[in-house]
Amino acid sequence: MAPVPRRRTLRRTLLGTLTGILLAASTVIVAPAASADIPGQGEIAKSPNMELLTNIPKQGPLAGVSNLGSDWAFQGKYAYGGNYAGFTVYDISTPASPKVVAVVSCPGSQNDVTVAGNLLFLSTDSSRSDDSCQSTTAPYTEKSSWEGMKIFDISNPAAPRYVKAIETKCGSHTHTLVPGGKDVSYLYVSSYGPVDTYPDCQPPHDLISIIKVPMKNPAAAAVIAEPVLFPDGGNPGDPPGTEWPNQTRATSGCHDLTAYPDKKIMAGACMGDGVLFDISDPEKPYTITSVRDDENFAFWHSATFNNRANKIVFTDELGGGSAATCNETIGSEKGANAIYDIVGKGDKRKLKFASYYKIPRPNADTENCVAHNGSLIPVPGKDIMVQAWYQGGISVFDFTNSRKPKELGWIERGTFSNTLTTAGSWSAYYYNGYIYSNDIQMGLDVVKITDKRTDKGARVRLSELNAQTQPDYFAKK
């Protein structure tokens, strides 16, 4: 099959494939990390150092197969979980026993979330009848249709209050929070998929939208810049009809941006390009260098720096997240991570390829599986990351030696359905000693890794985490 575009086409494809669902009671199989055994439906397989502490299913209007769990944001004792139908607020003060604090119905994929101060920001990447939380789907070809960013007041996490909406070109597939000082935050909005017949999403679309948010007056938030990041048009991609899975997508915007504000840099996963940006002036980001991998990368999806900011882990979302790519047919270098070293200084920095990393376990052909969202586990002197792989589960791996990454632990469920159904872990992030996974179909999973190689990470405590706004975990406060 051809790779499925992450925007627009995927949303329709998902609804056509989400069938044949079976929610069986889970049993646990303990297996070595290199096991080739594929767990059955309703089973959990894992390495001995990983433990599923609890699961909370999707709630109320956010339940249902078409309402996919998406991204995470954390603040204090609260976790905010995105969902295509809204978001959920959890109290995680006792990680093994989280409590649902609020369920907010506000349809509009992807509903990726970030938080800052008393505000929550929500990405809407589907054409809606209006900018309210009661909107319905609307044609992309209608000028009056809306998609973009929404802002909520979460000063009372039990009762989030809708404040403001800002329309952006081609909507907001994902967004990245960039602090601008005590009273200002910036949202870098990633969107893509322009079409000639879409009045608000015209090609070429080689830009991001920058929203400036006055934190004390969020109702005044507005788009203040639309910098063109690819004046040469970016990667032209492979022509239509190129044989699957060897088709690289053309660059027409960015999918995901990860800022490292303390280092004044940002990594961009921009469809056909992997990019390193300078964000010294948050209103005027510019490209330092970029790379391509037309042989093995189909869709540059997301990026994570190591803490020293001399490496980037890029992910390839081969198949748009809805295909079975963790099998012998696809192999170990497609649908994987690519680890790059950052060499040089200043505007002369370059990205040097080091290695690929892909989970070393085959998945069933009924399991969508590919590299997806993760974050660092903050272990001094080491580069260790936890990562979601959809139905490939959750993997913890060490890339301290960027040329020889190795897996430290893993946990996964067996196939969600006897047909290829979009499911599994969308985002798996490490926050204050625990791994929180937003499972597309199953809801919140809290996972604990107990391993002398990662245990020191639990000593690092954060008051807030937006995974695409990386902190310097070991900076002197």
Contacts of 345 (CB under 8 A, 6+ apart): none
| Structure tokens belonging to residue 271 | 């469809």
State the residue for tokens 């290829």: 420
Residue 177: its pLDDT value, please?
A: 98
| C-alpha closest to that of 6 among 193, 154, 164, 134 | 193
**Residues 103, 81: Cα–Cα separation, whole Å:** 10
Burial of 383 (0-12, 13-18, 19+ CB in 10 A): buried
Label the pairing between strands 69-75 and 350-357.
Answer: unpaired
β-pair partners for 213: 185
Residue 243: its pLDDT value, please?
A: 86
Residue 35: its pLDDT value, please?
A: 41
3-state secondary structure of 286: strand
- Global pTM value: 0.93
Please give the backbone phi and psi of residue 377, each rounded to the nearest 5 degrees, phi first.
-100, 115
Label the pairing between strands 374-377 and 300-305.
Answer: unpaired
| Structure tokens belonging to residue 179 | 């602090």
3-state secondary structure of 78: strand
Residue 365: its pLDDT value, please?
A: 93
Q: Going residue by residue through the chain (477 aa), what tens digit of pLDDT does each one get?
A: 233 333 443 333 333 333 333 233 334 433 333 344 789 998 999 999 999 999 999 999 999 999 999 999 999 999 999 999 999 999 999 999 999 999 999 999 999 999 999 999 999 999 999 999 999 999 999 999 999 999 999 999 999 999 999 999 999 999 999 999 889 999 999 999 999 999 999 999 999 999 999 999 999 999 999 999 999 999 999 998 888 898 999 999 999 999 999 999 999 999 999 999 999 999 999 999 999 999 999 999 999 999 999 999 999 999 999 999 999 999 999 999 999 999 999 999 999 999 999 999 999 999 999 999 999 999 999 999 999 999 999 999 999 999 999 999 999 999 999 999 999 999 999 999 999 999 999 999 999 999 999 999 999 999 999 999 999 999 986
Residue 385: its pLDDT value, please?
A: 98
Ordered domains of the chain (ranges, CATH): 9-465 (2.130.10.10)
In whole angstroms, how far apart are CA 161 and each of 69, 81, 103, 114, 154? 21, 16, 12, 15, 7
Amino acid at 322: S
CA dihedral 263, 188, 436, 85 (to 10 degrees): 180
In which element (H, E) is residue 164 found?
Answer: strand 161-167
